[in-house]
Amino acid sequence: MKNRFLCPSCRSDLKIKNSVIFSAQTENGIRGLVLFSPELGNYSILHVPSFTYNAGDHIDFFCPVCHASLGIPEVNRDLAEIIMIDEKQVEYKIIFSEIAGKQCTVKIKENTIVESFGDDAGEFSNFWGVGPTY
């Protein structure tokens, strides 16, 4: 998978080797870097042990380059968004949950859900019905 993942604000590459890197802050104000798998639907997360949180906590994600928030509160306060560019140079929005342990990710092109991932992905229909309206 040679997909690229970009910050929506500064369009810096957020993927290095096999990790997508975000800056993050927990509900309790703990800050740290978190590494996600670039494989959509793989929810393994790497971080240092002192970056602690509980399942169900809201975690804010930021671009580690420009520090812009990746959250999209205009759609939902618990969702965040980045850009993915696939091997064919097609650009998608990747929207994912900011709730620890919640597994839902959707791939969006031209305001339509192309693919969804994760056990909790069905919850996206609560936000968008047949498709996103923003």
Count the residues of the shown chain that bind Zn ion, applying the rule CB under 5 A: 7
Distance CA 49, CA 20 (A): 18
Residue closer to Zn ion (CB basis): 63 or 104: 63
Residue closer to Zn ion (CB basis): 96 or 124: 96
Listed in sequence order, the residues at least 6 apart from 124 whose beta carbon sits closer than 8 Å to its beta carbon are 95, 104, 106, 113, 116
> What 3-state DSSP class applies to 19?
strand
The string of DSSP codes covering 50-104 is T----TT-B-EEE-TTT--B-B-TTT-TTEEEEEEE-TT--EEEEEEE-BTT---
- Closest approach, Cβ 64 to Zn ion, in A, equals 8
- Closest approach, Cβ 6 to Zn ion, in A, equals 8
Footprint of Zn ion on residues 49-108 (CB under 5 A)? 63, 65-66, 68
Strand partners, 127: none
Both structure tokens of 34: 């978190």
User: Taking CB under 5 A as the rule, does residue 13 contact Zn ion?
Assistant: no
Return the range that interacts with Zn ion (CB under 5 A); candidates 5-13, 29-37, 38-46, 118-126: 5-13
Return the range that interacts with Zn ion (CB under 5 A); candidates 4-12, 75-83, 108-116, 119-127: 4-12
Residue closer to Zn ion (CB basis): 95 or 113: 95
| Chain residues that interact with Zn ion, rule: CB under 5 A | 7, 9-10, 63, 65-66, 68
